Structure 1
Amino acid sequence: MTTASEASSTQEHASATLTPVLTARWDQEDSFTLRGYERDGGYRALRQALQRSPESIVEAVKDSGLRGRGGAGFPAGMKWSFVPKDSPKPTYLVVNADESEPGTCKDIPLMMADPHLLVEGTIISAYAIGSNFAFIYVRGEVLHVVRRLQQAVTEAYEAGYLGRDILGSGYDIDVVVHVGAGAYICGEETALLDSLEGRRGQPRLKPPFPAVAGLYASPTIVNNVETIASVPSIVANGSSWFRLMGSEKSPGYGIFSLSGHVSRPGQYEAPLGITLNELIDMAGGIRGGRELKFWTPGGSSTPMLTAAHADLPLDFEEMVSAGTMLGTRALQIFDDSTCVVRATLRWTEFYKHESCGKCTPCREGFWWLVQILERLEKGEGTEADLDKTLDLTDNIAGRSFCALADGGVGPIDSSIQYFRDEYIAHFEHGGCPFDPAASALFAVERQEEAGVNAP
């Protein structure tokens, strides 16, 4: 049980570490309404932006160091600057709200609690890149989010923030909330664009990149929800303010989604560079007093790490140095009661199911990986199967149109790297050592090996 003093200490630590910007209004009953948003200064950043040149907004985002919050971490301002200035075709802005990465759950609560923040960020971003038309592409299963966004867009039109000559600036902007069909592959930006055009969502060969030839073969910028929602605060407070948080190369704040075996799973908005141990402390520790075993820094498509990495700064550079990626900051926490082989199998089954089938290495490779991992999990494999698995992953990664293949093999490679002995234990003992019956048997065997009489 947590004592009052311990709870107070946790709250003080959290208040000194957390940086509520995107989540600042989540506890207000009317945070999702236009009235509530305007009361807290909403759309002031838009008014400021419209008094500046689009180029100055792009430069401000560049200077802030804002990096894409959707997983890749590419500098947002630099991406915006790739839009050709002399194209005769219209420029489009597409907000990727197709949040479907296992463990990732930050964009949906943001859109539910503060949809006008996303709408304002969309208008400012569209203005900066010279676009008069923007799409917010939302995952189809989250109908409640779709309705809330549609309500916010309607309110923005009625208030004069969207439409013709907004706020008397001479700038025209239309925003459409588009509902996807629930395909994981449509989180990949070019597959998303195919879906928007009414085709089956499949990744495109790049180049050309979307900034040059994207939606309807026109210049298009695709950014994640959190990236776009961060723009109003940068415009309102300045690039230097944004750089006060985070690290030098990974500045700013971000929402860290803690799920799994922690006492208080949820969203924790903090500066980039915070450590997993700090976040776990805020989340009340590992549940049941158990020990941390492994975790993912950015959802299931980022290679897993172990308890030995829990004090590494959670920023883009440190995660790459550790052999993984920061990704979406979806921190899936697994304690020492979890079978890493079973967890890896479940993730691989997901990627097998969600592969669009366009690329042979991905389509066929994950099917075979599932067969091997199923045997290993049942204790029917051999150590040669581990080498065959690594050979398969090596022939899948980097050989497909999009990053689904690379992300799907990440958990497999890293689990064998850190927990090879656990894989071996499965086929040595004929089953999973984390099944209750098997665990009891292994305990007896360990006692006998140690010369202790079994009960």
Structure 2
Amino acid sequence: MTAPDTLTPVLTATWADERSWTLDSYTASGGYEGLRRALTMSPDDVIAEVKDSGLRGRGGAGFPTGMKWGFIPQDNPKPKYLVVNADESEPGTCKDVPLMMASPHTLVEGVIISCFAIRAHTAFIYIRGEVLHVVRRVQAAVAEAYAAGHLGRDIHGSGFDLDVVVHAGAGAYICGEETALLEGLEGRRGQPRLRPPFPAVAGLYASPTVINNVESIASVPSIVRHGAAWFASMGTEKSKGFGIFSLSGHVTRPGQYEAPLGITLRELIGLAGGIREGHELKFWTPGGSSTPLLTAEHLDLPLDFEGMAAAGTMLGTRAIQLFDETTCVVRAVLRWTQFYKHESCGKCTPCREGTWWLVQTLAALERGQGSEADLDLLLDQCDNILGRSFCALGDGATSPITSSIRFFREEYLAHLTHGGCPFDAARSTAWAGQEALA
């Protein structure tokens, strides 16, 4: 089993502290020291520090955070904005919500430093509306920060002004897409925008805008406080630092495991007490359901951006869903596809119509109807969506289908042979045997 010191608790270090979400608790553990150091630096030096750290976006895409900040045109006379994407809704992803609940001031401090760096005087934290308890927790932290002088006018005598608005979304998966999120912030229906222009040039209210994930912004205070070299000393050559890995499903101790990028799933499963007793791993998602799934053959691959790309998948949000041999992969993929069909905003035809047809074909196969040719039909449908939809939702909807057919084609065919899900038949036999013994 992996040694406990494999973990690198930074963002999660204080989650178990008494009333960890309060300003007093956060300050006692060194909170806002990063802000005080940042205010002694120039904005460009803060951007350089984040660039040198190698921090890459923790929301899924992995784009270098400091580079994104550097794209903001400072000669543009319009206001600059920071928007935090806290619309966490990818199936399996559950890291930002506990972070905001347990340590909201980590995010607030990161927002202040990031705004100072890009010279923004207004920031928005866009939180998924269903998690009302999180909205209230972050609002309370923002109020505490104002009262302590960390927000408002002339922060700590630096001459820097900043206001932070906590915005509750209306509950739409599509608003996790950054331009659809901007549409929602501006009071319109959440649908993605055509790019270019990119948000860095014309984002919120047609002004230069940086959009970052919660974990990306929450990582900034520790980088500024401890230095770029400290952060870059963890992780791999091209995937620097640490990240929160969310383990859910058929594992003994599901939860959040903060570790250096490049750790393997075998190591993480060891930390989580192994797959549930008496069972073995069948398949898993490295970064939520929109990333191509992998199997037990991939247990020793490094969980970093390059390692996952080499395996034909993505690190994504590091939402690792683990499924043992009792799970029907066809049914799991069908459930995910039904989600994407439901959440399609309807703006483009490939996604709006394509996800509907994917569900029809998959549902028939799951019931044992159709023929082997329907697998090729599924792949053709995916091919007509991938790269042709307006945003990445359509692409993500194809990932579990194409990857599951790649690794589990025989299981799809077994549904046709049995005239339905063979796992249902196995469960019925097992249940009948238990009844007979009773």
- The TM-score normalised by the length of structure 2 is 0.97
Q: Is the 8 A contact 1:393 1:409 kept in 2?
A: yes
Give the secondary-structure state (helix, strand or coil) at the position aligned to 2:321: strand
CA offset digits 1:50-105 (Å, max 9, x no partner): 01000000001000000000000000000000000110100000000000000000
Distance in 2, matches of 1:137 and 1:231, equals 18
Q: Alpha-carbon deviations, 1:303-341, whole Å to 9, x = none?
A: 000000011000000100100000000000000110000
Query: What residue in structure 2 maps to residue 218 of structure 1?
Result: 207
1:389 is aligned to 378
Whole-Å separation in 2 of the counterparts to 1:431 and 1:407:
27
Which of residues 18, 43, 48 is equivalent to 1:59?
A: 48
Amino acid at match of 1:257: S
Q: Please report how far the alpha carbon of residue 219 of structure 1 lies from its aligned counterpart in structure 2 after TM superposition.
A: 0.2
Match in the other structure for 1:323: 312
Deviation at 1:432, TM superposition (A): 0.7
What are the ranges of 5 or more consecutive residues in structure 1 without an aligned counterpart? 1-8, 442-455
The question of whether the paired residues in 2 share the 8 Å contact of 1:433 and 1:439 is answered with: no
Pair 1:184-2:173 in alignment: yes
Matched, 1:379 2:371: no
Counterpart for residue 288 of structure 1: 277
* CA distance in structure 2 between the partners assigned to 1:69 and 1:349 by the alignment: 26
* Counterpart for residue 230 of structure 2: 241
Q: Counterpart of 1:287 in 2: which secondary structure?
A: coil
- Tell me how large the CA RMSD over aligned residues is: 1.0
User: 2: CA distance between counterparts of 1:287 and 1:435?
Assistant: 21
Pairwise CA distance, 1:436: 3.6
**Structure 1 outlier segments of 4+, above 4 Å:** 437-441
Q: Deviations 1:191-245 (Å, cap 9, x if unpaired)?
A: 0000000000000111111001000000000000000000000001111100111
One-letter amino acid matched to 1:175: V
Match of 1:127 in 2: 116
State whether structure 2 residue 352 is matched by structure 1 residue 363. yes
Query: Is 1:258 aligned to 2:250, yes or no?
Result: no
Which residue of structure 2 aligns with residue 27 of structure 1? 16
8 A contact 1:185–1:201 mirrored in 2:
yes
Q: 1:431–1:438: 8 Å Cα contact kept in structure 2?
A: no
Residue 429 (structure 1) shift: 1.5
Distance (whole Å) between structure 2 residues aligned to residue 233 and residue 224 of structure 1: 16
Deviation at 1:110, TM superposition (A): 0.2
What SS class does the counterpart of residue 425 from structure 1 fall into?
helix
1:315-374 superposed Cα distances (whole Å, 9 cap, x missing partner): 000100100000000000000110000000000000000000001000000101100101
2:91 counterpart of 1:70:
no
Q: CA deviation at 1:126?
A: 0.5
Offset at residue 29 of structure 1 (A): 1.4
Distance in structure 1 (CA, Å) of the matches to 2:391 and 2:198: 13
Match of residue 26 from structure 2: 37
1:289 offset after TM fit, Å? 2.2
Q: Which amino acid aligns with 2:60?
A: G
Match of 1:118 in 2: 107
1:342 matched to 2:331? The reply is yes
8 Å CA contact 1:162–1:174 kept in 2: the answer is: yes
Counterpart residue type for residue 362 of structure 1 = C
Specify which of 153, 164, 168 is matched with residue 175 of structure 1. 164
Identity within the alignment, %:
74
CA–CA separation in structure 1 for the residues paired with 2:145 and 2:426: 59
Q: How does 1:82-93 map to 2 (within 5 A)?
A: 82-93=71-82
Shift, 1:288, TM fit: 2.5
Partner of residue 452, structure 1: none
Partner of 2:301: 312
For residues 439 and 322 of structure 1, what CA distance do their matches in structure 2 show? 36
Question: What is the aligned counterpart of 2:417 among 413, 428, 447?
Answer: 428
Give yes or no for the alignment of 1:140 onto 2:129.
yes
**Secondary structure at the residue paired with 2:201?**
coil
Unaligned runs of 5+ in 2: 431-438
User: Aligned to 1:41, what secondary structure does the other structure show?
Assistant: coil
Q: Give, in whole Å, the separation in 1 of the partners of 2:192 and 2:390.
A: 6
Q: Which amino acid aligns with 2:289?
A: S
Post-superposition Cα deviations, 1:146-193, rounded to whole Å, max 9, x if no partner, equal: 001000000000000000001010000000000000100000000000
- Count of residues in Structure 1 that have an aligned counterpart in Structure 2: 430
Give the equivalent residue in structure 1 for 2:144.
155
Residue 191 of structure 1 aligns to a residue in which SS? helix
Residue number in structure 2 paired with 1:418: 407
